[in-house]
Amino acid sequence: MKFKSVVAGALMMPAVALAWPWSTDMMNQPNIKPQEGPMALFPDRSIPVEGIPTQVADREASRDLQNPVPVTAESVKKGRDLYKIYCGACHGNTGTGDGAVGAKIGAIALNTDYIQSGMTEGWIWGTITFGSYVMPAYGVVQGKRGSNDLTVEERWHVVNYIRNGMMKDAAATTAAGN
């Protein structure tokens, strides 16, 4: 009989242990809800999720913008990396418009004289920022997020690559293939 009492008591111990105050410490701890009190300052060097809104109204207004990012090997490399991630699927890695998606939707070729010589860098930047026809916007426009927000500087790096590196890469690819 005594053995049964000990076994019953041992089986009851987890229930008793869970009823003690320490079992709810994680649930009932002091905390601050996001909507309570004044908003805390963001940590230094933090980046807002919404991005930085573009300061021009539309693609047409960006036509005369001057590229503030100097054309350097580092800028062209950053632009190449971003281009391959965001643009290559439609425009192709060499800018011929033959990417996996671009072949189906009719993406324009970026390696033509019309784009390389006839369009200003501001216009190309504005097209990346605001999109066109089937191309999505890659910038924060009037508080609305684009599909894959690129920073203002990243868009200029892509422009540097389109204007100063894509044709060289295409020529190197063609030479390697022959």
Q: Is residue 166 part of a domain?
A: yes
Which DSSP letter does residue 31 get? -
Q: Mean pLDDT score of the chain, rounded to an integer?
A: 79
Q: By mean pLDDT, which of 21-35, 57-71, 94-108, 164-178 is the weakest?
A: 21-35
Q: Determine the pLDDT at residue 58.
A: 83
- The pLDDT of residue 42: 64
In order of 32, 38, 52, the CA distances from 49 in angstroms are 21, 20, 9
CB atoms within 10 A of CB 69: 18
Domain that holds residue 72: 60-177
44 found inside a domain: no
pTM: 0.67
- Among 21-25, 129-133, 138-142, 164-168, the range scoring the smallest mean pLDDT is 21-25
The CATH number that applies at residue 68 is: 1.10.760.10
Please enumerate in sequence order all residues whose Cβ is within 8 A of that of 22, keeping only pairs 6 or more positions apart, or say none.
none
**Rg (Cα) of the chain, in Å, rounded?**
29
What percent helix, strand, coil does the chain show, rounded to 5? 50, 0, 50
Q: Does residue 136 belong to any structural domain of this protein?
A: yes
Check residue 103 and give its pLDDT: 80
Residue 126 lies in a domain: yes
Q: How many residues does the chain have?
A: 178
Residue 109 lies in a domain: yes
Residue 72 resides in a domain: yes
What is the predicted pLDDT for the residue at 141?
Answer: 65
* 50 located within any domain: no
Q: Residue 30 domain-assigned?
A: no
Closest CA to 167 of 66, 79, 106, 41: 79
Handedness of CA 51, 55, 60, 66 (dihedral sign): negative
The angle subtended at Cα 176 by Cα 174 and Cα 177, nearest 5°, is: 65
How far from chain centre, in Å, is Cα 157? 14
Is residue 62 classed as helix, strand or coil in its secondary structure?
A: helix
Query: How sure is the predictor about 36, in pLDDT bands with cuts at 50, 70 and 90?
Result: low
Rounded distance, CA 132 to CA 43, Å?
A: 36
Higher-confidence position of 102 and 174 = 102
For residue 113, the surrounding DSSP H or E stretch is helix 113-116
Query: How many domains, the chain?
Result: 1
Which tens digits make up the pLDDT trace of 93-142? 888 888 888 888 888 889 888 988 899 999 999 999 888 888 888 886 66
* Per-residue pLDDT at 146 exceeds 70: no
